[in-house]
Amino acid sequence: MRVLITGAAGFLGSHLCDRFLAEGHEVIGVDNLITGSIANLEHLAGNEKFLFIKHDVTNYIFIEGPVDAVLHFASPASPNDYLRYPIPTLKVGALGTHKALGLAMEKGARFLLASTSEVYGDPLIHPQTEDYWGNVNPIGPRGVYDEAKRFAEALTMAYQRYHDLDTRIVRIFNTYGPRMQKEDGRVVPNFIAQALRGDDVTIYGDGSRTRSFCYVSDLVDGIYRLLMSNEREPVNIGNPTEMTILQFAEKIIELTDSKSKITFIEPTDMRIKDDPKVRQPDITKARQTLQWEPKVSLDDGLNAAIAYFRPLI
C-alpha cells in the first residue's frame, strides 16, 4: 500500500511510519512540526519508500499519485501542548480532519482517525466501553482537545454514512515509550525525568487517580490491525491494567534506582482541571474483532523508556 500519515513526526506518528515501512508499504509522512520533531524521522533519511512533506493539514492536502490509506494523527496531544496551542488544536481536529477526509475521498483511500480516551472525559462508568458517550466539560481548558476529537469522530462517521467512505476510529489510551517529548507534561516523562535527576517526584492531589499504561509497540500493533480489519465503529486500544498514580511513581523510582522522594501538590494547575479521576479501557472489542491485546509488561516497557530518556536528562 501507499499510506499517508499526518502528524508523522510526532511520538505515535513516527512509530507508525516505522511499522508500515517494516510491513513493506510506502509511507508519506506529513507534519507542520509545531509539536512534532524531525529528529523522530531522521533514521528514515534515504529510505526510498518514505517521503516527508512539511505541511499544515488544516490547509488543502495535495498528493501526487495513488494513496491507499490515510491515517490522521496530526494534533497536539499533551496538556502542555494543547494548552499552549488551543486554537491550532481545535483547527486540526476540525479543519485538519476535514482536509484529511477529503484526501481520502479524492483517492478512494481507507481513512483511520486517531481519537482518544479523552472523548470519555471524567468518566462516570468504569472501565470505559466504546458505547459510553462520555462526561466532558466543553468549556474547560481541556475542552480544546476533548471536543476537537469528539468533533473529529462525528465528522468521520458523517463521511462514512453520507459518502460511504471506508473509515476506522481508534480511541487511544495512555501510551508511552521512546520519542515522547521530555517536557511533554504527561506523567511518564515527568516522573522519569524527575527520578533520573534525583528531584522529588511530584504528584498532583493524593495520588489516588488511576491510569492504564500501554507501551507504544503494542498500541501501534493494535492500530495496524484495526486499519486492516473490517471494523467501522470506534475501538479502544490500550492496556487494561490499572494502577494509581502513587503506585506508578513508586514503580518509576524503583526502576530508575533513584533516591527521589514523592511529594504531593495541590492540583491548582490549569492542566489538572477536569483531569479524569479514573482511566481504564475495556478492550473486549479489540480482543474479539482484532485478536489484539497488549504483550509488553510494564517493567519491560518502562525500562525501554527510561533508557531512551536517560541521555536526554
DSSP string, 272-310: GTT--S---B--HHHHHHH-----S-HHHHHHHHHHHHG
Which residue, 266, 172, 297, is CA-closest to 222? Answer: 172
The answer to whether 178 and 304 have CB atoms below 8 angstroms apart is yes
Q: How many helices (H) and strands (E) does the chain have?
A: 10, 13
Identity of the residue numbered 147? E
The answer to whether 196 and 313 have CB atoms below 8 angstroms apart is yes
The catalytic site residues sit at 145
Indicate the helix (H) or strand (E) that contains 17. helix 11-22
Residue 312 burial class via C-beta count within 10 angstroms: exposed 0-12, middle 13-18, buried 19 and up: exposed
